[in-house]
Chains A and B, each alone.
Chain A
Amino acid sequence: MKHTIKELEDIASQIRRDIVRMVHGCQSGHPGGSLGCTDFFTALYFEVLNHNKEFNMDGAGEDLFFLSNGHISPVWYSTLAHAGYFDKSELATFRKLESRLQGHPTTHEGLPGIRIASGSLGQGMSVAIGAALTKRINGDKSYVFTLHGDGELQEGQNWEAAMFAPFHKVDHLICTVDYNGQQIDGPTDKVLSLDSLQAKFEAFGWHVINTDGNDMKAIVEGLHYAKTLTGKGKPILNLMSTQMGAGVDYMMGSHKWHGTAPNDEQLATALAQLPETLGDY
């Protein structure tokens, strides 16, 4: 362990503060999923991912991460800033004119740490497979990680990719699904049920594990365990249960905060629940 669980939880608390402040600052953005995935991003970037903050697009010899559900950009931007990719003060420009921190992540504005645009849903798994194929051709044994929304799996391209990866033995690939059961129009069970994702992915030939996505120790252990499963001909799917809005009580348990910004009062309430640990931007 590079950090204790307590240290990782402290980083996560600061990232959550950043998220609500960023979304409040421009009165726009997606706090719910960002807060739900904060523990995952913290564990990934500060404990699991072998990465280089001196950013290089090709990422040779490094683990790569692709965010498929790009709308949770606040958590990624804050994580990248705390990991040293760019200065934290830039977080204040989120979704504002002439910012590198576009509403959805892009390479277009040249933000270090981001290798492809995402936002239009369902494309990330294909991209990750491509990057993993290149690593295989290049004899590069490092890992490719992804994150997907559960609602996002309603996009058909995912299933093209899900069929491809086991058939072509893309087995240094660890995809995580943010399994919060919510999407813009309501619970996934009401909008278009995903039914058993475990059964679906296993039927396609994936190795599926289940983790608790709001328990730092469980996430770190889950991702390390996922790595031990790689290299055996199967891609790995990490079904990670999370609570949308985790860390801010009034945002939890509802799809209402998928894409809504808090007002001044709501921001104060949220910040009161999230200790400042590394200093606000």
Chain B
Amino acid sequence: MKKYTYSEKKDTRSGFGAGLHEAGKKNDNVVALCADLVGSLKMDAFIKDFPERFTQVGIAEANMIGIAAGMTIGGKIPFTGTFANFSTGRVYDQIRQSVAYSNKNVKICASHAGLTLGEDGATHQILEDIGLMKMLPGMVVINPCDYNQTKAATLAIAEYEGPVYLRFGRPVIPVFTDPDQKFEIGKAWMVNEGTDVTIIATGHMVWKAIEAGEKLAELGIDAEIINIHTIKPLDDEAILASVRKTGCVVTCEEHNKFGGLGESVARLLTTTLPTPQEFVAVNDSFGESGTPDQLMTKYGLDAINIVEAVQKVIERKKA
């Protein structure tokens, strides 16, 4: 098991803020919109340096999506920012018609995704957003794993032409990827090569998968770990190559097991290379109030849950 360490913990949303600021410096056409959550989305640096390219929309998310779509006409690259719940479910029809169907170059950037929003509870958490967004034809769906990768993803989507959903979280988590990494949309990142099982993780769950990989190594299980930061388009080739080698797979996501990364992987495998699979995901439930750590434990998203899922799927492979 390759050794990963970290010197600090940072939130992925700050990676977004830093990436947005840098994208703004690189390209005058980058504009930002926010629905009364500037601090939460870490947009301050962008607003300070480019006030004329920022629009405060107020608590009116539907209007924000429409304005963003309109701003693409004339060449702007709008980044919208609010919580993941209000970035997706609340404005699904606006995104569907004015952004996705109209193929507008809007970047829907969503903070506070998943359970790790914590104490605010289920109204503000969302565990369905990956599903909602990946079902839209033409929508790219990205869920990066740490501060550095979120920053790199933000820069990459500014250069990509077309609608994108970028999902990130609230809590501080280990920073373990290269600050100068090249982020390639749709290209999986091999975290650890192994032979016994493929662990496919996305977002905050990648670090949990690394922790699980270390525990598995102690148990004599050699896990291959893949970071799928881009859920759509899925890197079919990387997943198939790994599963051909290991013969079983565990998917890990801070999302409902219905509609997320796990289902995308299952669709790929069932039509190409039927393979035993286990899902580490929320079991079709809303969340609740609690600390992020408490919630990850209660809803079965800890490293130990990944270890258990791996043991289970290896048994199924042998059967």
Contact = CB atoms under 8 A, between A and B. Distances in A.
Interface size class of A (residues with CB under 8 A): 35 or more
Interface stretch (A122-130, A185-193, A232-240): A122-130
Contacts of A57: 73
A152 B102 CA distance: 20
Of all A-B residue pairs in the complex, the 3 with the closest CB atoms, nearest first, are A130-B70, A126-B66, A134-B74
Interface in B48-67: 52-53, 55, 57-58, 60, 62-67
Contact of B74 (A60, A119, A125, A157): A60
A109 to B, nearest CB: 11
Interface string B52-91: 1101011010111111111111111010000000000000
B160 interface: no
A129 B75 CA distance: 15
Interface in A109-123: 115-120, 122-123
B73 A131 contact: yes
Contacts of A107: 101-103
30 contacts: A58-B73, A58-B75, A60-B75, A107-B102, A107-B103, A108-B103, A115-B73, A116-B98, A117-B101, A120-B96, A122-B62, A123-B62, A123-B97, A123-B98, A126-B70, A127-B69, A129-B70, A130-B66, A131-B73, A131-B74, A132-B70, A134-B71, A137-B31, A137-B76, A138-B74, A140-B74, A157-B66, A161-B63, A163-B58, A164-B57
Nearest to B103: A107
Contacts of B53: 137
Contacts of B70: 66, 116, 126-134
B104 interface: yes
B73 A117 contact: no
Interface string A128-148: 111111110110100000000
A59 interface: yes
Interface in B253-278: none
A163 B62 CA distance: 13
A106 interface: yes
Given A120-B97, A126-B63, A133-B55, A59 B73 contact: yes
A128 B66 CA distance: 8
Contact of B62 (A115, A119, A157): A157
Contacts, number: 116
A157 B63 contact: yes
A140 B60 CA distance: 27
Contacts of B104: 116
A164 B58 contact: yes
Residue of A57, A106, A116, A140 with highest tally of chain B CB at under 10 A: A116
B74 A168 contact: no
Interface residues of B, number: 32
A122 B66 CA distance: 10
B74 A135 contact: yes
Interface of A: 57-60, 64, 66, 106-108, 115-120, 122-135, 137-138, 140, 156-157, 160-161, 163-164, 168
A58 B72 CA distance: 8
B73 A64 contact: yes
A57 B102 CA distance: 11
The secondary-structure label for the interface of chain B is helix
Nearest to B93: A120
B97 A119 contact: yes
A187 B145 CA distance: 54
A12 to B, nearest CB: 28
A108 B102 contact: yes
A116 B74 contact: no
Contacts of A118: 97
B177 interface: no
Nearest to A156: B62
Contacts of A130: 66-73, 78
B67 A117 contact: no
A161 B62 CA distance: 9
B94 interface: yes
